[in-house]
Amino acid sequence: MSSLSRRAFLSASVAAVSVSRMSALQAAVKPVRKAQITITFDLEMSRMYPRKEMLEWDYQKGNLNQETKAYSLKAAQIAKELGGVIHFFCVGRVLEQKDVQWLKSISELGHPIGNHTYDHVNVWATEPEKTQFRFQRSPWLLGGKTAAQVIQNNIRITTEAMQQRLGIKPDGFRTPGGSSAGLDQREDLQKLLLAEGFPWVSSKYPRHKYSPPDVAPGVEVYESILSAQQSAQPYVYPTGLIEIPMSPISDVGAFRTSHWKRKYFLKSVELCIQQAIERGEVFDFLCHPSIMYVEDPHFETVKLICQLVQQAGDRAELVGMSEIARRYGEQQP
């Protein structure tokens, strides 16, 4: 897909937006520093994929099928060839599978792999049985633990599994799911993650508008997604934990919620990255290979992101999330 300016795309695709409006937007944004773009893959299975009636993955998020593993490895190879990096987040149950050589190969290619809890638990849950569908169906697995104990154990054993099975320590932590508030009101979770050795977290997903299912996104949806990028910039909690939000729109929202066509998704990604480059901001692309192998089988999104960063020259860089955290951590007194 060729690079398009926001004005060119919106003028051609959505006539309702005036040229003057887009010109004003472009004039108002000037690069202040190098943009940091990161591609992230959450290694888990998603409901409704590969079939829309598929719901069983809710209970066995880490039971990756062969298509998801193959897609992840191929994406890692493509990104490497294009001079990029993908930051993976691994659900611990993935490491129960017999063959994990594909994941070792991803690590050997230089791609970082973070902790995504063992069972894909809801870290905001305050009742143990609500931390994961698996525990609602099999409550005996909780062993009398509180919600906080379940969450801590889920994080800790994933770290241990990665060390024993892959020979690596997790590079960062991403919460399963996201919250528009991140961990703003959860000092307990901030301290828990710091105690487990994580200097940064990716937990915030800003609110934005969605198009109705099977309806092409209008200008108001694209503008909402672009506006939400301001709330997707990293910041530091009072505890010192660094937050690196997920940038809208995720593949879940685009394909599972709104049933977008791939071209809509690619346009949204391009518009957001162009804006990030113009403003010298961060863009954290979030996707799931269990969705993308169905919706983007030829890796068009990964290729597009790498190409946009290459075209930007010294105005942008494609990095792992720890590099982003390092820059924001250095800004603190």
Averaged pLDDT for residues 72-99: 97
**For range 36-60, the mean pLDDT:** 95
Chain position carrying tokens 């300016």? 5
- Beta-bridge partners for 316: 35
Q: For residues 108 and 147, what is the distance between their CA atoms, to the nearest angstrom?
A: 35
Question: What tokens does 263 get?
Answer: 């071209």
The bridge status of strand 242-243 relative to strand 235-236 is antiparallel
Query: Between residues 322 and 28, which one has the greater pLDDT?
Result: 322
* Residue 90 confidence (pLDDT): 98
**CB-CB contact of 251 with 5 (8 Å):** no
SS3 197: coil
CA–CA dist 152, 128 (Å, integer): 12
Of residues 126, 45, 43, 55, the one with CA closest to residue 90: 43
Q: What secondary structure does DSSP assign to 275-326, as a single string?
A: HHHHHT-EEEEEE-HHHHHHH-TT-HHHHHHHHHHHHTGGGEEE--HHHHHH
pLDDT of residue 6: 53
Average confidence score pLDDT of the chain: 92
Residue 329: the pLDDT is 79
Give the rounded distance of the alpha carbon of 159 from its chain centre.
Answer: 19
Instruction: Give percent of the chain with pLDDT exceeding 70.
Output: 89
pLDDT of 17 > 50? The answer is no
What was the pLDDT predicted at 197? Answer: 97
Residue-range domains of the chain with CATH: 32-331 (3.20.20.370)
Q: What gap in Å lies between CA 42 and CA 308, rounded to an integer?
A: 22
Tens digits of per-residue pLDDT, 262-320?
Answer: 999 999 999 999 999 999 999 999 999 999 999 999 999 999 999 999 999 999 999 99
Is 289 in contact with 68 (CB distance < 8 Å)? Answer: yes
Distance CA 97, CA 104 (A): 13
86, containing H or E segment: strand 86-90
For tokens 């597009």, the residue is: 304
Q: What is the mean pLDDT of residues 211-219?
A: 97
Split at pLDDT 50, 70, 90, the class of 2 is very low
Angle value at C-alpha 319, between 253 and 8, nearest 5 degrees:
55
Please give the pLDDT value at position 3: 45
**What does the alpha-carbon distance between residue 173 and residue 241 come to, in Å, rounded to a whole number?**
11
283, amino acid identity: F
Crossing angle for the helix pair 6-13 and 262-279, nearest 10 degrees? 150
Q: Tell me, rounded to whole angstroms, the distance of Cα 188 from its chain centroid.
A: 23
Tell me what pLDDT residue 32 has.
60
